[in-house]
Amino acid sequence: MRFDEAYSGNVFIGSHPNFEESEAVIYGMPMDWTVSYRPGSRFGPARIREVSIGLEEYSPYLDRELKDVRYFDAGDIPLPFGNAARSLELIEQFVRRVLDAGKFPLGLGGEHLVSWPVIKAVYDYYPDVAVIHMDAHTDLREHYEGEPLSHATPIRKVADLIGPTNVFSFGIRSGMKEEFEWAKENGMYIAKFEVLEPLRSVLPKLAGRPVYVTIDIDVLDPAHAPGTGTVDAGGITSKELLAAIHEIARSDVRVVGADLVEVAPIYDHSEQTANTASKLVREMLLGWVAK
Amino acid sequence: MRFDEAYSGNVFIGSHPNFEESEAVIYGMPMDWTVSYRPGSRFGPARIREVSIGLEEYSPYLDRELKDVRYFDAGDIPLPFGNAARSLELIEQFVRRVLDAGKFPLGLGGEHLVSWPVIKAVYDYYPDVAVIHMDAHTDLREHYEGEPLSHATPIRKVADLIGPTNVFSFGIRSGMKEEFEWAKENGMYIAKFEVLEPLRSVLPKLAGRPVYVTIDIDVLDPAHAPGTGTVDAGGITSKELLAAIHEIARSDVRVVGADLVEVAPIYDHSEQTANTASKLVREMLLGWVAK
Amino acid sequence: MRFDEAYSGNVFIGSHPNFEESEAVIYGMPMDWTVSYRPGSRFGPARIREVSIGLEEYSPYLDRELKDVRYFDAGDIPLPFGNAARSLELIEQFVRRVLDAGKFPLGLGGEHLVSWPVIKAVYDYYPDVAVIHMDAHTDLREHYEGEPLSHATPIRKVADLIGPTNVFSFGIRSGMKEEFEWAKENGMYIAKFEVLEPLRSVLPKLAGRPVYVTIDIDVLDPAHAPGTGTVDAGGITSKELLAAIHEIARSDVRVVGADLVEVAPIYDHSEQTANTASKLVREMLLGWVAK
Amino acid sequence: MRFDEAYSGNVFIGSHPNFEESEAVIYGMPMDWTVSYRPGSRFGPARIREVSIGLEEYSPYLDRELKDVRYFDAGDIPLPFGNAARSLELIEQFVRRVLDAGKFPLGLGGEHLVSWPVIKAVYDYYPDVAVIHMDAHTDLREHYEGEPLSHATPIRKVADLIGPTNVFSFGIRSGMKEEFEWAKENGMYIAKFEVLEPLRSVLPKLAGRPVYVTIDIDVLDPAHAPGTGTVDAGGITSKELLAAIHEIARSDVRVVGADLVEVAPIYDHSEQTANTASKLVREMLLGWVAK
Amino acid sequence: MRFDEAYSGNVFIGSHPNFEESEAVIYGMPMDWTVSYRPGSRFGPARIREVSIGLEEYSPYLDRELKDVRYFDAGDIPLPFGNAARSLELIEQFVRRVLDAGKFPLGLGGEHLVSWPVIKAVYDYYPDVAVIHMDAHTDLREHYEGEPLSHATPIRKVADLIGPTNVFSFGIRSGMKEEFEWAKENGMYIAKFEVLEPLRSVLPKLAGRPVYVTIDIDVLDPAHAPGTGTVDAGGITSKELLAAIHEIARSDVRVVGADLVEVAPIYDHSEQTANTASKLVREMLLGWVAK
Amino acid sequence: MRFDEAYSGNVFIGSHPNFEESEAVIYGMPMDWTVSYRPGSRFGPARIREVSIGLEEYSPYLDRELKDVRYFDAGDIPLPFGNAARSLELIEQFVRRVLDAGKFPLGLGGEHLVSWPVIKAVYDYYPDVAVIHMDAHTDLREHYEGEPLSHATPIRKVADLIGPTNVFSFGIRSGMKEEFEWAKENGMYIAKFEVLEPLRSVLPKLAGRPVYVTIDIDVLDPAHAPGTGTVDAGGITSKELLAAIHEIARSDVRVVGADLVEVAPIYDHSEQTANTASKLVREMLLGWVAK
């Protein structure tokens, strides 16, 4: 993790060398120790940066170029392997420093639990924040086999903190019955299976509000994102996910932070998932920060 | 293969430990010796069970849970490697015992030829059975390079037995000209390329009838099911296949048995095909047995 | 098994053994030395032929069989590794000989730069030729990091030769801003993101004209073609690409040559891309040559 | 984890169905959350069991058969993902129960840290125990980037507990300078690079003593064990490791427990590492328990 | 590139185009249907030919070149999938024709059962033939789970036919106790674990006799041959296997036929096994045929 | 390529940030366009750096630490894809600048042809230089299929420049007959198959001389280095190659530059080859530069 010294690592294509002069900060959260199924997302941020060298810097979707926005790549936050509680503290500290400096935090996971300390920090700065959550999984458990710090719990923690009516989930196709019921009883919005159409109906209601967007790459169908820990059939295409990012970019919400999590290179035999993730990051930068 | 003793193997998630008390029986048919192209589906049933531990037990599609249905996992039927004729006999014997006990047979392949002895047994119990067949391939050959027992022949054998007008194929995008012509001349229904729309038009005509459903995983596009012996471009998505299962569940047919065949783990580098298959099995249990 | 006849090892399924008697000639251009990202497409033609043995010879899309068209498989053109200029000369010489003999050239790449000498030769024979280009990338650069012979430049060279208004690109989702602007300023047609709908509107305008079609396999989404050098999310499905081939087949243009490039087997872990390519070749033969 | 109920999982070939009647207990410790490099060994025990079905039950090395020894397979100990401290407690509890019952514990990892609670328990029962440690790495750190519970620390913890002069490491080819110095200063035995020859000189000195053997699969060269988290060139062959197991079997030490750790299936593309591990387990059972 | 001559697609490098004029005949036996574990060796012969293009034609071991020997590549014998009995008949017929023509049969497998009909034919021509067998496995079962035609039985069939004292096995490290006992009781030679040293002591005893050599690629350690159905740790290196071939070449036996079996490309992720096999074939041609 | 500005890329572990203050310079030569077989070594240098983070900084072989030597990592030299002549010029220019500054050049390939411009530059500075060459292949061709700039020619060019009696090849097991004969006739030393023993006899003769060492990773057996373009069975182990590096380090020659080439990550499924290469680089730095 760095702020001003020269960084000798792998950076996202087109990154600005100076933290102070940047509008956004890309940072990695290389944690995967609470996952219940296949680990490996700790290497996600590094691989996304690495393959970003193959990206064009221009978006024909948004007709903007990466040079139109200044973003700093802070590298990966060094996290203590196997210590979830301490890792979350370190993430929160880092993000607070980014927010203190008035910059847009754009985080790369890592497992989905990393979004929890990020949103905790964001909520302090934007108490009226709404969260847009795209995922295959509800992630609404209170604990997982007894552990409250689990990759199955982050959205529940977020809902408990900012209020369930401020959380909007899209593309959900997996979860326990109790999770869906809890959402229903508590007024939390869940769009099952689909992303784009329900997003079009939700966005107008959020007009003018600050919004944090958290995207679990497994909202994509396994055909489009085989490189993730928990694949689940019946998801959306990468074309639809790109359209969702552009829909938000064209709406009247104000995106104040975002993350993209759960890319796991070891299951990504042709590097297609990492390539897709790096394209999504480009569109998030051009659509939500350069806006 | 077992009926009442304790089984010390890999079982499908949520299986009931007792054969007698179960409504359905999951069983594997680990045979792949007549395939003309890439073998390996013999390991399909074991891998589907193994990855089933990652499945949620609740279906947000059907709003049912696996605990709502009692199914026994009988393991794989031990088959003599390389002896097709004897393997088919053993499968038929096993399925007859399941049917004798009044239970729903849910078979996992293995190559598609395994469906032939299963349907032969089912036909004895349900002489008015119709067969719904989802596949990339017609499988209507009389023999393959001289061999009548081949993975290219099962649907022809079925059609000859129960009558071609009782067989309904969907999603077909590959076969010999003669196979399509035979189907046409004999009144057998073939929906080329598509599954969901033609299924919606066929199901009402089968209302009230017992139906056996055989799904070759390669009805899915290779993007959705790379882990199979014979991939063929231009297939349907896993979302469409899930919808087809639900369409049958909501219809007025009575599903009396089913199978899912041709999952070949060795070509399934991210285990996405096996994961998809285990989700399909869950939906079949909840949609067709729990019904 | 053979004893004295010629052995037909690795050739595209159903090839005719005699050049003179054939209408079309399949040939490989195993060159990948100017690619800026991942090499490996030099092995594409050989793998496409190899997996073609799994193809049915009948097309249920077009209701034609491979025996309805006579095509010769000339093998791969031997090219000097690492010498781009000489390789392009050899390709051009070969294609001129095919055209001299009045046959349809159907080339397999290799990197996209190989299309440039082919189209140069075709243009000599058909001065009113139009080029239909399906690709994820514009390929309109004048040079790439100083090199005019680069996989990023072929369509620009073609446009400069035959005139930009005679080039029609479809499915483009990646390129530099300058490339899109150059196309606009020079009247070259680019359909962003989509293939089928824009093709339907363009084809009538080309009625009666000779057309050369060049397909970069990466016009497909990475889900449908992981086995290529430069994957880019948001592409079309193989179903759509098949439909585009059939749309051209049914139109009033006269296809006078075609190629399919950038299949790279090393990234194609389940051989799905090579299988898809061999099916596309079959449909091109049946739709464009047998026509 | 089970003791007497029927277990419905994947078991090591030839396992005895009853805990009470068995001499040895195989158990999995599916933990990999403190590893600093590549995770995935949590799936090691399951894969070793799965491929064990391909093992012959007879050892031509020892001229014994698996039926000559009774061992129970207790499955994997359920461990809380991402909670290292609690996981180690659960492992220790389990092993104490095995030792209470007078049985030989044969553990499968998981990361190497799992050996620490096992040896802690063993030490209580055998206060004069010596530890034979085969590994590429010293594992002698006091902490790793601040964390005392890390996969880089277990042998240090063991040495601190039972005394460094009672720990004998073999095959070591990687570590910090300070680790090698600490060993030297404290009288701990380290054989660098080699296993068999130094073992032959150490074993006579341990005659009559109880010995616990912990084997990290990465003591093998990456050529022989690619499927592990941290590969390191210059290791021994599987032939040498088999010979080392047999050397111990023929010696006058009394092996009272053992483990084999760090098999990570995701990096084991041909399953050779898992197959090798299952053969090593067979030889450990026949050489050390059946003895 | 060709226009009118015959195209020599996938043949072993340096093959002679004419059967009659050749001294040796390479042929593939693409059968894998009786294997009890992992299938896939049906594609072994094709892949060995394919990678042979990377081979140098000169052997620095033997100081000979492939042009010093004339061998014809007959391609793969077409075998009926899943019909073991008929496949063996077809292989035998083919080999008889090769032997009738006075040529050296050099077969490529396929599973090891294919050696049985070959040796049956060879025995007719050379009643005093001895068989040298290099393998990890005894292959001495009478039947496998009831099937007499199984990949676990070929050497037993050979021993029953030509007499156990005429069979010499090397490198064996896996089998049932009964198989080793049967060999001992019947005077069949088995060298456990090692190949080169025991071969040096056996060869002088066979001086002047015709010898058939059958090599199962799994005699190599999995490190040297991951691409095979049944990997087994503790094998020999490829350097030792090359030395064994050369030892036979320099001895006074007369090799009258040979095979190399069980290469399975699907498990051979870097093609190292197929490359090794093609080098072994070159040394067999130069050492045993050119002799 | 850089000399003094801050570098924002992936660097070898423990690199010194300043060019001027360093004794050695690591640099990548990402070129693979003249290879005749499998390309991909262009990504070798980047992957070697990336996995170097898993290396211990201490060598138990040499009892030295990376902090004992100052080396700068200059990144990869940007090379024009597909232009071999220009690439070689750029490499030569870079190395001259390193030598001008009195530093040790430690190059990472890329294909073996990259060694040619390096040695050309080194020869200018050290006219009495001898070259130690470890490789599976002779690389002594004058041209390859007509191309003088080919990966099969670099050692011939070197021998022509510095005199064949000053070139010493080890471990060679593949080449054309003419290459071996040329070496013999011209007094060039070639040790076939082995490295360590012949090296021990050659080194004393080179005492006091400046020596450049070029290592092609394929001198290792494919078991130890599957991740390379042209695998060839019968090679040495990584243990032997490490010993060879140490043998040179302990000898009386003065190593003035070195390279390690032909690591190709795409064929390196468990990253074992890249890991081995990074360990070899560490030992070269500690043995040859820190000396």
Residues annotated within a binding site of F for Mn(2+): 112, 135, 137, 139, 216, 218
Are the beta carbons of B199 and B244 closer than 8 angstroms? yes
Which backbone phi and psi does E28 adopt, to 5 degrees? -100, 145
Asked if A81 has any chain D CB less than 8 Å from its own CB, the reply is: yes
- Among residues of chain F, what percentage have pLDDT more than 70? 97
Tell me which chain D residues have a C-beta less than 8 angstroms from the C-beta of B50.
10, 46, 50
B240 pLDDT above the threshold of 50: yes
DSSP state of A271: S
Inter-chain touch D175–F60, beta carbons under 8 Å: yes
The chains found to touch C (3+ Cβ pairs under 8 angstroms) are A, B, E, F
What would the two tokens of residue D132 be? 């034979």
Per-residue pLDDT, A7: 43
* pLDDT mean over F204-216: 98
- Among residues of chain E, what percentage have pLDDT more than 70? 97
Interface test with F, best of E267, E270, E280, E281 (most F CBs within 10 A): E270
* pLDDT mean over F199-208: 98
Domain boundaries, chain F: 15-288
Tell me which chain B residues have a C-beta less than 8 angstroms from the C-beta of A176.
56-58
CA–CA dist D272, C54 (Å, integer): 30
CA–CA dist F31, F22 (Å, integer): 26
Are the beta carbons of E39 and E50 closer than 8 angstroms? no
Give the SS3 label for residue E106.
strand
End-to-end C-alpha distance for chain D, whole angstroms: 27
The pLDDT mean for chain A works out to: 94
Distances in whole angstroms, Cα of residue B70 to Cα of each of B2, B38, B282, D259: 17, 35, 12, 39
pLDDT in tens, C183-200: 999 999 999 999 999 999
Residue among B54, B238, B270 whose CB faces A227 most closely = B270
pLDDT in tens, E168-205: 999 999 999 999 999 999 999 999 999 999 999 999 99
pLDDT in tens, B246-290: 999 999 999 999 999 999 999 998 899 999 999 999 999 999 998
Model confidence at F291, pLDDT cuts 50, 70, 90, reads low
Residues annotated within a binding site of C for Mn(2+): 112, 135, 137, 139, 216, 218
* pLDDT mean over F120-140: 98
CA–CA dist A116, A93 (Å, integer): 12
Longest pairwise C-alpha distance within chain F? 50
Query: How many other C-beta atoms are found inside a 10 Å radius of the C-beta of residue D79?
Result: 25
Which backbone phi and psi does A128 adopt, to 5 degrees? -100, 20
Residue of chain A nearest F5, judged by CA positions? A6
Give the SS3 label for residue B82.
coil
Inter-chain touch C19–E9, beta carbons under 8 Å: no
F114 pLDDT above the threshold of 90: yes
pLDDT in tens, F239-290: 999 999 999 999 999 999 999 999 999 999 889 999 999 999 999 999 999 8
CA–CA dist E213, E193 (Å, integer): 18
Per-residue pLDDT, B5: 42
* Residue type at E41 in one-letter notation: S
B33, HSE (Cβ side, Cα atoms, 13 Å) = 29
Interface confidence: ipTM more than 0.90: yes
Are the beta carbons of F18 and F72 closer than 8 angstroms? yes
- Among residues of chain B, what percentage have pLDDT more than 90? 86
Query: How many other C-beta atoms are found inside a 10 Å radius of the C-beta of residue C55?
Result: 20
Are the beta carbons of B197 and B231 closer than 8 angstroms? no
Tell me which chain F residues have a C-beta less than 8 angstroms from the C-beta of E244.
none
B175-179 own/partner pairs: CB under 8 Å, 24+ apart: B175/B137, B175/B138, B175/B139, B175/B140, B175/C56, B175/C58, B175/C60, B176/B138, B176/B141, B176/C56, B176/C57, B176/C58, B177/C58, B177/C63, B177/C65, B179/B138, B179/B140, B179/B141
F4 pLDDT above the threshold of 60: no
pLDDT in tens, C132-166: 999 999 999 998 878 888 888 999 999 999 999 99
CA–CA dist B108, A85 (Å, integer): 43
Chains D and E touch (3+ CB pairs under 8 A): yes
pLDDT in tens, B16-62: 989 999 999 999 999 998 888 889 999 999 999 999 988 999 999 99
In the CATH hierarchy, which top-level class contains the domain B15-288?
alpha beta
Model confidence at E6, pLDDT cuts 50, 70, 90, reads very low
Nearest-Cα distance to chain C for B227, in Å, is 7
Q: Which of A170, A181, A108 is nearest to A142 (CA)?
A: A181
Compare C17 and B95 and report the one with higher pLDDT: B95
Per-residue pLDDT, F35: 86
Which range, of B113-117, B177-181, E33-37, averages the lowest pLDDT?
Answer: E33-37
Per-residue pLDDT, E44: 95
Per-residue pLDDT, C11: 86
* pLDDT mean over A191-208: 98
Q: In whole angstroms, what separates CA C165 from the centre of its chain?
A: 20
* pLDDT mean over A63-79: 95
Sheet containing strand E210-216, edge to edge, reads E71-76, E24-29, E104-109, E254-261, E210-216, E130-134, E167-172, E189-192
The pLDDT mean for chain E works out to: 94
Nearest-Cα distance to chain F for D43, in Å, is 16
pLDDT in tens, A218-271: 999 999 999 999 999 999 999 999 999 999 999 999 999 999 999 999 999 889
Tell me which chain C residues have a C-beta less than 8 angstroms from the C-beta of F84.
82-83
F5 pLDDT above the threshold of 50: no
Compare C167 and E54 and report the one with higher pLDDT: C167
DSSP string, D22-80: -SEEEEEE---TT-SS---GGGHHHHHHHHGGGS-SEETTTTEEGGGS-EEEEEEPP--
Nearest-Cα distance to chain B for C238, in Å, is 5
CA–CA dist E188, B8 (Å, integer): 39
Inter-chain touch D224–E226, beta carbons under 8 Å: no
Place of tokens 């490295």: F195
What would the two tokens of residue F247 be? 């043998």
Per-residue pLDDT, A4: 44
Are the beta carbons of C54 and C47 closer than 8 angstroms? no
Place of tokens 């990548």: F28
Distances in whole angstroms, Cα of residue B132 to Cα of each of B158, B209, B255, C59: 11, 12, 10, 23
Inter-chain touch E227–D270, beta carbons under 8 Å: yes
pLDDT in tens, F52-99: 988 999 999 999 999 999 999 999 999 988 889 999 999 999 999 999
Are the beta carbons of F115 and F259 closer than 8 angstroms? yes
Sort strands A64-65 and A58-59 into parallel, antiparallel or unpaired. antiparallel
Nearest-Cα distance to chain E for D69, in Å, is 15
Per-residue pLDDT, D37: 83
Residue among E180, E193, E222 whose CB faces D276 most closely = E222
What would the two tokens of residue C223 be? 């889900």
Per-residue pLDDT, F8: 43
Give the SS3 label for residue C83.
strand
D284 pLDDT above the threshold of 90: yes
The phi-psi region of residue F252 (left if phi > 0; otherwise alpha if psi is between -120 and 50; otherwise beta) is alpha
F6 pLDDT above the threshold of 50: no
Give the SS3 label for residue E63.
coil
Q: Which of A264, B225, B137, B108 is nearest to C270 (CA)?
A: B225
CA–CA dist B62, B245 (Å, integer): 11
Place of tokens 């999951």: B26
D30 pLDDT above the threshold of 60: yes
CA–CA dist B125, C95 (Å, integer): 64
Q: Which of B252, B172, B160, B178 is nearest to B216 (CA)?
A: B172
Model confidence at C9, pLDDT cuts 50, 70, 90, reads low
Model confidence at E2, pLDDT cuts 50, 70, 90, reads low
Model confidence at E17, pLDDT cuts 50, 70, 90, reads confident
A10 pLDDT above the threshold of 80: no
